Structure 1
Amino acid sequence: MSTWLNGGVEATRVAKWAGHSLSVLLRVYAKCLDGGEQAARDRVQRALEGR
């Protein structure tokens, strides 16, 4: 699941695929979501630019 999260799959989808609630997924895998600040900003910028 950490690979999915680090690959950019949204947490709600990963939770569903894994059969977990979102709260359980986030509690267990929150550490995998750290450090994605620049990647998130880049995704927002691409969306704003229509790419």
Structure 2
Amino acid sequence: KRHKIEEKMRVLEMQKLAEVEKYLTEGIEDATQLVHLFTDTVEEEFSIYSDA
């Protein structure tokens, strides 16, 4: 169970890092995406833990 959570968290981390890197290199059209980045990530983390 713990390993599943760790793997899902690693995948989420890589996805979010790629998303941030994209914002930094390409810029962003809608600033609300940045505003919601943290809260969306936290919700996704909670989802991973609750599904375990």
TM over 0.5, yes or no?
no
Output the TM-score relative to the length of structure 2. Answer: 0.34
Which has the higher relative contact order, 1 or 2, with Cα contacts under 8 A spaced 6 or more apart? Answer: 2
Q: Which has the larger radius of gyration?
A: 2
Bigger share in helix: 2
